[in-house]
C-alpha cells in the first residue's frame, strides 16, 4: 500500500475512534429529566404565574425537572397529591388543616406559601352600603356552602356586636361574583386579587372588608403549595429542586408582573388580558411582602389560625402544626 494511503487510513481510523468516544461521553453526560405533575386548585390564574414563568424561563429545566400543569378533573389537589396522582399541588391553609385533622387524615404538607397574607374578604356593591360586619344585618349573603364561611361571618359580626340571626344566607346562584351581587345577593366571600380587581377593571364600585382587618386571627396562608409525606420521605431532593425553580419563578413575577403575565396567557389564552395584568400587578407586592423570602411561612400564623378553626368547630381536633408545614426545602435566605 502506498505510504500516503496508509497515513490517510490511519487518520480516518483515529478520527472514527474520537467521534465514537465523544459520542459515548455525551451520552453518558445526558441526565434524564424528572417528570412531575403540578395540580391546580381551579382554573389557571395569577396565583399560578410563578410556575408558568419557571417553565417558560427554563428554571425547571435547569434543575432537570419537566413539569406538567393540570386542573383537577375529579376530587381536589389534596387528595390527588396524597394518592400520588401528582407530586405537587395548590391548596389552602384552611383546607390542609381540615384534611390533616379529618377522621381519616390526608397526609399532605405545605411546603411554600404562594402569597404572604390573606387577601380575601367580604364584598358587595357600594350601593348595598356594607361598610362593616355590623352592616351584614338585614342583608343576603351568597354562600359557597362551606362551614368556614359561617365561622368567618360569626366571628366578624360578634366582634362588631352584630346579630348573626339577622343575616339571610343562601347558596350562590351564579359563580360569577359580579353577576351574583348584581342579581341575587348583597355580598360574597371573594379574593380581592381576582374578583376585586375584575370589578375595578369593569368600572363596578364595590365595598370590601378584608378578614384580618376585623380579626387578626383570620390572616392565614392562602394559597399554598403542597406535596405528600411520601414524596418528602422518598425523594427530598426532588422537592428541594422543585422549590428552587418555583422560587425563581415567583421572584421573577414579583419583579416583572406585566411581563410575567404573558407566561400565564401562553398557557391559558382564554384569560382576560386586562384583568390578568391588573391582578398580577396587585399580587406582585403580596408574593414576598415582609417575609425573608418567597414561600416562607411562620409558625405563629399556622398556630393562631388553626386554634381559631378548632375553637369555632371548623376542625374537630387540634392541628399538629409542626407536621402540617415546613420551610425546610425552600432556598436558604
Selection from 177, 153, 179 nearest residue 166 by Cα: 153
Over range 260-267, report the average pLDDT.
98
More confident residue, 236 or 8: 236
Over range 36-58, report the average pLDDT.
97
Q: Which domains are assigned to the chain?
A: 34-117+221-324 (3.40.190.10), 120-218 (3.40.190.10)
Q: pTM for this one?
A: 0.89
Q: What's the grid cell of residue 79?
A: 387528595
Q: What is the pLDDT of residue 29?
A: 52
pLDDT band at 12 (very low <50, low <70, confident <90, very high): very low
More confident residue, 32 or 121: 121
Q: What is the DSSP string of 146-197?
A: -HHHHHHHHHHHHHTT--GGG-EEEE-S-SSHHHHHHHT-SEEEEEIIIIIH
pLDDT band at 137 (very low <50, low <70, confident <90, very high): very high
Lowest average pLDDT, out of 70-74, 250-254, 293-297, goes to 70-74
For residues 42 and 44, give the distance between their C-alpha atoms in angstroms, rounded to a whole number.
6
CA count, 13 A, side-chain hemisphere, 207 = 15
Provide the b/e sequence for 132-171 (b: ≥16 CB within 10 Å).
ebebbeebbbbbeeeebbbbbbebbbeeeebebeebeeee
Q: What is the pLDDT of residue 30?
A: 63
* pLDDT of 37 higher than 50: yes
Look at the chain and count its residues. Answer: 333
Strand 206-210 relative to strand 187-191, pairing: unpaired
For residues 88 and 83, give the distance between their C-alpha atoms in angstroms, rounded to a whole number.
11
- Inter-residue contact 229 to 108 (CB < 8 Å): yes
* pLDDT of 261 higher than 60: yes
pLDDT band at 257 (very low <50, low <70, confident <90, very high): very high
Q: For residue 265, what is the enclosing H or E element?
A: helix 257-267
* pLDDT of 191 higher than 60: yes
* pLDDT of 80 higher than 50: yes
Over range 62-83, report the average pLDDT.
93
Averaged pLDDT of the chain: 92
* pLDDT of 26 higher than 70: no
Q: What is the pLDDT of residue 19?
A: 42
Locus of grid cell 386579587: 193
Q: What is the DSSP letter of 331?
A: P
pLDDT band at 10 (very low <50, low <70, confident <90, very high): very low
With 0-12 / 13-18 / 19 or more C-beta atoms within 10 angstroms meaning exposed / middle / buried, residue 129 is exposed
Q: What is the DSSP letter of 255?
A: H
Provide the b/e sequence for 277-309 (b: ≥16 CB within 10 Å).
bbbbebbbebbbeebeebbbbeeebbebbbebb
pLDDT band at 20 (very low <50, low <70, confident <90, very high): very low
For residues 33 and 27, give the distance between their C-alpha atoms in angstroms, rounded to a whole number.
14
Amino acid at each position: 500500500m502506498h505510504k500516503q494511503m496508509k497515513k490517510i487510513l490511519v487518520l480516518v481510523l483515529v478520527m472514527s475512534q474520537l467521534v465514537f468516544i465523544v459520542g459515548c461521553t455525551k451520552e453518558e453526560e445526558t441526565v434524564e429529566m424528572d417528570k412531575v405533575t403540578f395540580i391546580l386548585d381551579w382554573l389557571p390564574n395569577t396565583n399560578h404565574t410563578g410556575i408558568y414563568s419557571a417553565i417558560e424561563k427554563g428554571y425547571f429545566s435547569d434543575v432537570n425537572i419537566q413539569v406538567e400543569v393540570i386542573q383537577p378533573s375529579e376530587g381536589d389537589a389534596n387528595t390527588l397529591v396524597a394518592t400520588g396522582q401528582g407530586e405537587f399541588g395548590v391548596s389552602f391553609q384552611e383546607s390542609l388543616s381540615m384534611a390533616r385533622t379529618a377522621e381519616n387524615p390526608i397526609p399532605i404538607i405545605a411546603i411554600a406559601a404562594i402569597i404572604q397574607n390573606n387577601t380575601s374578604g367580604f364584598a358587595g356593591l357600594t350601593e348595598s352600603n356594607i361598610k362593616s360586619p355590623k352592616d351584614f344585618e338585614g342583608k343576603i349573603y351568597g354562600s359557597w356552602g362551606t362551614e368556614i364561611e359561617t365561622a368567618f361571618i360569626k366571628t366578624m359580626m360578634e366582634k362588631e356586636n352584630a346579630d348573626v340571626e339577622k343575616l339571610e344566607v343562601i347558596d350562590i346562584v351564579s359563580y360569577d361574583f359580579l353577576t351574583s351581587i348584581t342579581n341575587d345577593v348583597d355580598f360574597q366571600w371573594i379574593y380581592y386579587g381576582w374578583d376585586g380587581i375584575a370589578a375595578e377593571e369593569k368600572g363596578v364600585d364595590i365595598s370590601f372588608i378584608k378578614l384580618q382587618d376585623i380579626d387578626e386571627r383570620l390572616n392565614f396562608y392562602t394559597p399554598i403549595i403542597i406535596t405528600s409525606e411520601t414524596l418528602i420521605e422518598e425523594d427530598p431532593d426532588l422537592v428541594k429542586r422543585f422549590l428552587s425553580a418555583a422560587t425563581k419563578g415567583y421572584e421573577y413575577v414579583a419583579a416583572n408582573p406585566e411581563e410575567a403575565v404573558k407566561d400565564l396567557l401562553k398557557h391559558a389564552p382564554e384569560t382576560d388580558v386586562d384583568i390578568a395584568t391588573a391582578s398580577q400587578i396587585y399580587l406582585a407586592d403580596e408574593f414576598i411582602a415582609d417575609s425573608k423570602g418567597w414561600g416562607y411561612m411562620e409558625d405563629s400564623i399556622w398556630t393562631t389560625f388553626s386554634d381559631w378553626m378548632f375553637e369555632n368547630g371548623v376542625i374537630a381536633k387540634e392541628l399538629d402544626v409542626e407536621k402540617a408545614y415546613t420551610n425546610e426545602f425552600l432556598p436558604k435566605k
